[in-house]
Every structure is written in C-alpha cells, then in structure tokens.
Structure 1
Amino acid sequence: MPISTLPRGAVRPRDRQDVLRDTRNRKMARSAHAYVRGNTVRFYEWLDSLAVHTLPEGPAIWICGDCHVGNLGPIGNAEGDIEVQIRDMDQTVIGNPAHDLIRLGLSLATAARGSDLPGVTTARMIEALMEGYIHALGASTASRRKRLDKPDTVHVVMRQAVKRSWKHLARERIENTRPTIPLGKRFWPLRADERRALARLFEDEAMRHLVTHLRSRDDDAQVELLDCAYWVKGCSSLGRLRYAALLGLHGGNGDGDLYCMIDVKEAVQAAAPRYPRVRMPRDNGQRVVEGARHLAPFLGERMVATRFLDHGVFVRELLPQDLKLEIDTLKQSEAMRVAYFLAETVGKAHARQMDTDTARAWQQELKRQRSKTLAAPFWLWTSIVELMSSHERGYLEHCRQYALGALE
C-alpha cells in the first residue's frame, strides 16, 4: 500500500517516535494508576534513593522488576493449560524479591485510591497481600499447583481465556481472520529493511520450532511469513522496536490451526536494581527469556531470544488465552481477595526458585517488624505511603505539562 494512501491512524516510519511519545504521555495522563504503570523509572529512582538496609535483603532470585497489576494475567502453555502468572518480563533481573512486593502493593493501593475506597481498606489490602505471599512461600510444591481461590474479577478473565480461540485473537488483534494485518491506529507500515529482516528472522530453525512445538502441530510443518507491521502496544515500552508478524503453517495435521501471530519486542537494559555479583545473561533478550522461564514457565517455554537489526529482541507466539488483568477500579468487597490472590501468584513465582530452608528464612524475615495495628511489615507500609505521595505529585505535574504542551 502506498504511503500516501495510509489508512486512518497509521503513521509513517519517520514519524513514529513523535507519535509514540505523545501516545505514551496521553496514556499516562488518563489516571494516577495509569501513571504508576507507565512510569517505572520513578519507582527505580525511589529505590535508588533509599539508605542501605532500609529494606530487607531477600534471597537472590529472578524477580519481575515491574510487578504491577497489569503485568499479571492468564497465560496458556504449549499443552493447553491456563494459569494466572506474571506476563511481562522486560525488567526482570536477579534481585531483591521485596521490590516486587512493594511495586505490587503500590499498584493495588493506587487502584484503591482511584476507586475512592477508604484508607483503612488500603491497609487491609496490604495485610492481605502479605498474607497471600507468605502462604505461597510456606506451601508445598504440590499445593502451589492447586487452583487458588480466585476473586470474581479474576474468575471473569479466566472464563474468557478458557473460551477463546484463534478467531477471538484475530478479531481482537487484527480485526479479521484473513491472513493480513490491517494498518491503522494499532499497526503501522514498516521500512523496507524491517520487512526484509523479519522475513529472514522467520527462516531460522529456532523460529520455526517456536511455532510448531505447541500441541497438535506437526513438527515438520512449514512456516511462512504472511504479513507484518509495526505494533503500537503497551505504555512504558512505547518507542522500542515492536512488531507483529502473521505466520501461516503448511503441511500440518489439518486441525484448523493454520495461522499464528508472533510478537517481536526489543529488549533493552533493565532499569530494575539487580543484586551485585550475580550472573545473568549479558544479552538483554536472553535475560528476559531466562527470567520468564523461572518466573512464568507457561510464558518462558514459548519465548526465544535473538538479534534483529543489531538489537536484542525476544520473540513469542501470542495465544488466545493470554490476557492481562484490568483492575483499574476495585470494589470494596473484592479488594482484599484480589490483593491476596495476586500476592500469592507472585509468591508462587518466587517460591519455585527457593529451596525449603531459603523459603522458610525469607518467610520468617517477612513476619518481623510488624506493628500492633498492622499485620504487615512496617517497611512495606511506609514504602507504599511514600511512593503514593511521590507518584501523586508526579502524576499531577505530568498532566500539567502534557496539557500545556498540547495547547502550544
């Protein structure tokens, strides 16, 4: 399609960065909760400002690094099972698990504030968060695999995930079930070198195996790149390389699963604090994939790291079951159950990396420093209060600057 006849909303490659910057600013101005999700740097700057030993030093494990509510949700695996797991690993590092707890607590507290819930509800949510996380640390491996008592908000998303098929994914992502990606607001045209590089990428054997190893697909199926586009997705990652690729499978076993959609995303240096003197992959794409395999096996087994146009990227197939939790508002009756469930989910991701003694020691550390009025560590509560104040100021300032900039 000639550039001069681009559909409404599509953007020329040379104009991408300006439009993406404006899109990110607009998304972050929607609400304080959206600002918290999109401004991870402010959280890391706060961590960097803390005096030594302000926070407990947990065991050296892979952490999400950006553990807010929107980065958890249902994920499907190669065998067709579905679990709620961490679903975004851009900032994953081997670091302090306390950072994930604080980030999740901040996200929940911001959602509670945006839902006009009383402050005492936020305090009870932080207690529930700690209770759920500690329960996961103390549970046996077998009990961690059991289905958790999901709050209604999560049940709704899980039911949607179970019922979804390729047609749902196609309608949601590409608006039709034909083997094309329609350009518009979400998908933009590529430069010629990007299109050629994507064609070469999917000629690689590792990419073919990424697609064919899912259940009911023939290992000998041929993979063909049908269409591709630049993908406008996310918030904090807007501006990085991001591509959607539509692949066709030929010579399979004829079960109707003929197409699949692939996400190719640039991996950049993590801003999340890592523990010193720990060994992690130097390549950022490999770091993301390794972190995913430890924290969210359902996702990690469906990812491959590679190089693309001299950038580290990670590649994954999108499954219809992959959904994120949308909890911008909270009902008071659900608030504690949501906090407990999500913290238990994160606790499971952390605990599977610890032996029994390490998990028990970390569990005992988290039970210390509790006050008579709050069944959660004092450092966790004060951290969330400080961050709420800092992000509220930052959000209002962002809105002022964005609004004035839009008028110029």
Structure 2
Amino acid sequence: MEPFQYFVPSSSMKIPRPSNRMPHLIQLRNLKMASSAHAYVRGSTVQFYEWLHSQRGCRLPHGPEIWICGDCHAGNLGPTGDLRGRIDMYIRDLDQTVIGNPAHDLVRLALSLATVARGSDLPGVIIARMLEGIMLGYEYAFKDKQDKAALRPSQVKVAMHSSIEQTWKNLARKRIENTRPTIPLGKHFWSLSQAEKIALQTLCSSYEIHQLVNSFKGRHKDAKIKLLDSAYWVKGCSSLGLLRYAVLLGIGDKDDQRYCLIDIKEAVAATAPYIVKSNMPRDNSYRVVEGARHLSPGLGERMRATRFLDHVFFVRELLPQDMKLKLDELSETYAIYAAGYLASIIGIAHARQMDRDTRKDWMAVLQENRSKQLDAPSWLWTSVVQLVGNYEQGYLNHCRRYALKC
C-alpha cells in the first residue's frame, strides 16, 4: 500500500469480518489524520487539551460553568435541520460536550481556523485578523438584539441555500449511494455480526425509536416503522474504532412508504475537561444528548440516549439538510468573515445558557488583556501560536510514524 492511501474495500478486497474491524479502523484513522494538518487537528482532541494545559505563560480565563462543545473545530459546525423542517447554523457534533469552561471552545475554533489558513497559504497577519474576528463575532452574539443573517459570509449563505434544497434522494446518494431500500456494503458500510443485527432489530422495535422517528413534521405519530437494512458505518476520524451503525427504516405502509436513515453512535467518556461538581449526567449517552439540547436545540430534540450490546449510544435521524461547511481553502477576505461568523454560532450557543448578569460579567472578562496592536486577548493569541507549533510537530511525527509502517 502506498503511504497515505486510504484503506478502501473493493471487489478484490474482502470487507473485514465484524471480529476483525479494529486493525482496519485504526489504519484508516491514521491515514485520515495524515492527509492534512487540519485533519490532524480534527482527529487529535486528546493532544489538544494536553498541549493547551501544559503551555507556559498562558492562563485561560475561567468562564461561567455552562455546556460547551468540547471539540469546537470548524468542521463541527454547519447547517442543521430541526423537527419542524427549519434550518439554522448549529454546532453539529457533540461527542465531547461537557459542562466546562467556554474559553476552551474559543481556543479550539481559533486553532482550527488558523490551521486552515496556513493550509491556504494565508499570511500571518490574516490569522491575527481572524482571531480579532473570532472575538468580535463571539461578543456580538451576547448583544440583546442580533441579526444573524447579516453576519453570514456569502459562502455560508450558499451552503444554507443548498441545505434547504436537499431531499431524501440527495441524502441517499451522499450517504448510502442508493435510493432503493438497501445499504450497499463497501467503502463506507461493513457487514454486521448476528448479535448486532438482533440488537438493532430490537432497538428499532422500541417505543423510543418510534417516538423519535414519528416526531418529525409531516409524519403520523402512530405510523408503522420497519427496519429495512442495517450496517456498520465507517465514518468520522477520531471516533473511528467506536461502534457506529447506519439503520435504514421504512415509515408507513408499503404503498406510501417513506425512508429515513438513523445514525447510532457509541458514546464514550469525554476528553474535554469538565466541572466535577456539576449536574452533568455521568452516563455518556445522556451527557451527549443533554449537551446537544443546550447548545444546539434543533439537533438535541432529534436525539435519544440508549443502551444495547453492553454499550451506551446516542441515536439521531440524519436529515438531508444536515451538512458540513467546507473550509479546505480560504481567501483572505472570507477567512476573516468566516471566523467571526462561526464564533457567533458558538457565542449564541453559550449565551442562551446565561442570564443577563452572567453574560455581562463574562464579556467583561473577555475585554481584559487586549493590546492596542491586536483586538484579541493575549491569552487567545498566545494559546493559538503555541498550539500551532505543537500541532505542526505532532502532525509531521504522525506522518513519519505512519509512513514507516507502509
């Protein structure tokens, strides 16, 4: 195998047996993380917090104790639909959500965008302006009156317009490569063990799944639900190696049957630091769902916590409108506007959890340690500069270690 070539099952390569998935998933995860510096940032949350809290001469502000994303890189934000068919920009990946320090989300986003900017060969001054944009966008979200649409860069507006136009057929083509009621095995979907098939059949017959699926606008609350197909889902980066399943359901009678795709993902302990003496659920599946309901209500109301096969999972139906923002390349102007806008999404998610006095106090803390040269606090600039250096070294070492194994 050539270095950095993805592991892709083909007609000449057997799909791994359920008992032998792990080596292939680890290999795929290493390959994905080696594909770009930004991919390495996305896939190394553990290192992020280790490096962040080992920095010298940089002390993060202690914000109010609220639900945070915990892994707030740019790829975890995007257009997301709710139960009533409305579309908005949300934090859309909450695996790492905890009750913690909101400053962690700001640093994670800033590092992510700085890495994309470096990959786009933008000058350092633009990264400095992006950090200013992050602070301005985040603080704007705490104002009593906001115009979220006014902040959206043109590329984001295009993405949201495209999201609104998505249909089930679009989702099927992107996710399962088929509009028929089957999930074809191959690159993205692998076969299940008999125990997994039985457990998924039992889960999809449960009241909680019926209630979730039939809560969407336009569906009858008593519509019949039938499991049509299921598979192990090879998806994500840092989460590769966790149990994850795709389930295709039929809703209603055969003559007028609709389809939906369910994402069932194992919930594990969060890497993000959390407030020990908080009311955060200790069950990881309930932690993820509760965090989603606070940070991204339109997504949280579409999620459920469950347990089977001696593991805990969170479940959600995927909508055609759920999309990732593509930020592989940034122009100088778009980089600054995108930074401000994405930070405002995080700010809105944080601000809705605070009363007016708490918001005011947090904004006062964020105004500290600013210089005349850079309208961003010194702790944010110092954190990003040091982390970029850590990640450059970590990424190159990761690539070297992987290349030697190929």
TM class, shorter-chain normalised? over 0.9
Q: Which residue of 1 aligns with 2:6?
A: none
Q: Which residue of 2 aligns with 1:197?
A: 199
Q: Distance in 2 between matches of 1:284 and 1:180?
A: 31
Q: How does 1:1-400 map to 2 (within 5 A)?
A: 10-50=15-55, 54-140=59-145, 143=146, 146-251=148-253, 258-400=258-400
Q: Distance in 1 between matches of 2:257 and 2:384?
A: 46
Q: Distance in 1 between matches of 2:234 and 2:349?
A: 29
Q: Is contact 1:10-1:186 (8 Å) kept?
A: no
Compared with structure 1, are the counterparts of its residues 272 and 147 closer, same or farther at alpha carbon in structure 2 (3 Å cutoff)?
same
Offset of residue 75 of structure 1: 0.3
Residues 340-395 of structure 1, C-alpha deviation per residue, up to 9 Å, x if partnerless?
10000100000000001101110111011001210010000000001000000000
Offset of residue 147 of structure 1: 2.7
Write the letter of the residue equivalent to 1:337: Y
Q: Is contact 2:83-2:217 (8 Å) kept?
A: yes
Offset of residue 50 of structure 1: 4.9
TM-score, normalised by the number of residues in structure 1 = 0.94
TM-score, normalised by the number of residues in structure 2 = 0.95
Q: Distance in 2 between matches of 1:161 and 1:257?
A: 23
Give 4+ residue runs of structure 1 displaced > 6 Å after superposition.
none
Q: Distance in 1 between matches of 2:252 and 2:394?
A: 52
Higher mean displacement: 153-162 or 209-218: 153-162
Q: Is contact 2:52-2:383 (8 Å) kept?
A: no
Residues 237-295 of structure 1, C-alpha deviation per residue, up to 9 Å, x if partnerless?
0000000000011249x8x6611000000000001000231111111000000000000
Residues 23-77 of structure 1, C-alpha deviation per residue, up to 9 Å, x if partnerless?
0111111111110011111111123425798111000000000000000000000
Q: Distance in 2 between matches of 1:308 and 1:323?
A: 28
Compared with structure 1, are the counterparts of its residues 405 and 242 closer, same or farther at alpha carbon in structure 2 (3 Å cutoff)?
same
* 3-state secondary structure, aligned to 1:49: coil
Offset of residue 15 of structure 1: 2.2
* 3-state secondary structure, aligned to 1:65: coil
Q: Is contact 2:55-2:383 (8 Å) kept?
A: no
Q: Distance in 2 between matches of 1:325 and 1:262?
A: 21
Compared with structure 1, are the counterparts of its residues 257 and 67 closer, same or farther at alpha carbon in structure 2 (3 Å cutoff)?
farther
Q: Distance in 2 between matches of 1:269 and 1:42?
A: 15
Higher mean displacement: 82-91 or 275-284: 275-284
Q: Distance in 1 between matches of 2:16 and 2:187?
A: 8
Aligned residues: 397
* 3-state secondary structure, aligned to 1:240: coil
Offset of residue 399 of structure 1: 0.4
* 3-state secondary structure, aligned to 1:133: helix
Q: Is contact 1:148-1:341 (8 Å) kept?
A: no
Offset of residue 12 of structure 1: 1.7
Q: Is contact 2:232-2:244 (8 Å) kept?
A: yes
Write the letter of the residue equivalent to 1:398: H
Q: Percent identity?
A: 58
Write the letter of the residue equivalent to 2:362: W
Q: Runs of 5+ in structure 2 lacking a partner? A: 1-9
